[in-house]
């Protein structure tokens, strides 16, 4: 396993733990209404999603700047990873738009707080998809792709 | 259209050089051991630069390491 591959596995693992914690806290400790009116709840949720992003950033990126950590094959995988990231972000946005349009179709009024939640979810998905894109890149390359 | 691929003799050349390890060749050529493994298994075609570095690390001409098969 290359250093980049190891970091991608760690990044994905830590990212999933934070994402699951974020989803569980958000769903079972309050939901969208509590998030809208309770500042303490917002702080807890913010700490979880920003913590996840920072942890992922610390795990995946800095050590790779040392010489000998990446070679041309790793760079090729890194260059291809954003394709999956882009797809994941687009599908997340599509899911949000369809869900919100359907739920609030009758009133035509979507609460503004959803913008913030959408933003958080897109960043979380993008970070997870980066690690996943790297792992998929190695998998495809090992199949001769 | 006929498919073309780049074959190589890295594994054989390593063994002919006192069983040079993949790790050692990787260090000399400036790549990771995993890339050497992928090259030996024919799962990766290197850039021209890396191909030259590997040939130099093995002490032979480029054509002795890599072959163009049509």
Taking CA–CA distances from A67, the nearest residue in chain B reads B30
Mean pLDDT of B54-64: 93
Q: In this structure, which long-range contacts are made by residues B2-6, counting pairs with CB atoms below 8 Å and at least 24 apart in sequence? A: B2/B70, B4/B68, B4/B69, B4/B70, B5/B42, B5/B45, B5/B69, B6/B45, B6/B66, B6/B67, B6/B68, B6/B69
Taking CA–CA distances from A5, the nearest residue in chain B reads B34
d(CA A131, CA A81): 8
Q: Which of A5, A68, A142 is the closest to B38 by Cβ? A: A142
ipTM of predicted assembly, 2 dp: 0.76
Confidence band for B54, pLDDT divided at 50, 70 and 90: very high
d(CA A125, CA A127): 5
CB B22 within 8 A of CB B33: yes
Q: Which fold has domain B5-69?
A: 434 Repressor (Amino-terminal Domain) (1.10.260)
- Which residues of chain A neighbour B43 with C-beta distances below 8 Å? 141-144
Domain ranges of chain B: 5-69
> Average pLDDT per run of 10 along chain A, which is 145 residues long?
88 89 84 85 86 82 69 90 94 95 90 89 91 92 73
Q: Which of A2, A68, A144 is the closest to B34 by Cβ? A: A2
The verdict on a CB contact (< 8 Å) between A1 and B34 is yes
The verdict on a CB contact (< 8 Å) between A73 and B42 is no
Which residues of A lie closer than 8 Å to B, measured between beta carbons? 1-3, 5, 68, 71-74, 141-144
Q: How far is B24 from chain A (nearest CA, A)?
A: 13
Q: Which of B35, B42, B43 is the closest to A71 by Cβ? A: B35
CB A58 within 8 A of CB A94: no
The pLDDT of residue A135: 94
Question: Radius of gyration (Cα) for chain B, nearest Å?
Answer: 12
Q: How far is B32 from chain A (nearest CA, A)?
A: 6
Q: What is the mean pLDDT of chain A?
A: 87
- Which residues of chain A neighbour B47 with C-beta distances below 8 Å? 72
Domain ranges of chain A: 3-142
Specify the residue for token string 């050497």.
B36
User: Per DSSP, what are the bridge partners of residue B7?
Assistant: B67
């Amino acid at each position: 396993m290359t250093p980049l591959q190891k970091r991608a596995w760690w990044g994905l693992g830590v990212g999933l733990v934070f994402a699951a914690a974020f989803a569980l806290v958000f769903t079972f400790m309050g939901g969208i209404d509590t998030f809208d009116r309770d500042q303490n709840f917002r702080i807890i949720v913010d700490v979880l999603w920003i913590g996840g992003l920072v942890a992922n950033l610390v795990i995946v990126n800095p050590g790779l700047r040392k010489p000998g950590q990446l070679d041309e094959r790793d760079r090729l995988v890194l260059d291809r990873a954003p394709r999956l990231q882009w797809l994941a972000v687009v599908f997340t946005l599509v899911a949000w738009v369809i869900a919100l349009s359907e739920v609030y179709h009758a009133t035509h009024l979507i609460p503004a707080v959803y913008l913030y939640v959408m933003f958080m979810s897109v960043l979380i998905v993008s970070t997870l998809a980066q690690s996943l894109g790297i792992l998929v890149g190695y998998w495809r390359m090992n199949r001769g792709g | 259209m006929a498919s073309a691929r780049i074959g190589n003799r890295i594994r054989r050349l390593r063994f002919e050089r006192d069983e040079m390890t993949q790790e050692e060749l990787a260090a000399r050529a400036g790549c990771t051991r995993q890339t050497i493994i992928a090259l030996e298994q024919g799962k990766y075609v290197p850039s021209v630069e890396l191909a030259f570095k590997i040939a130099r690390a093995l002490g032979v001409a480029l054509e002795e390491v890599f072959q163009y098969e049509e």
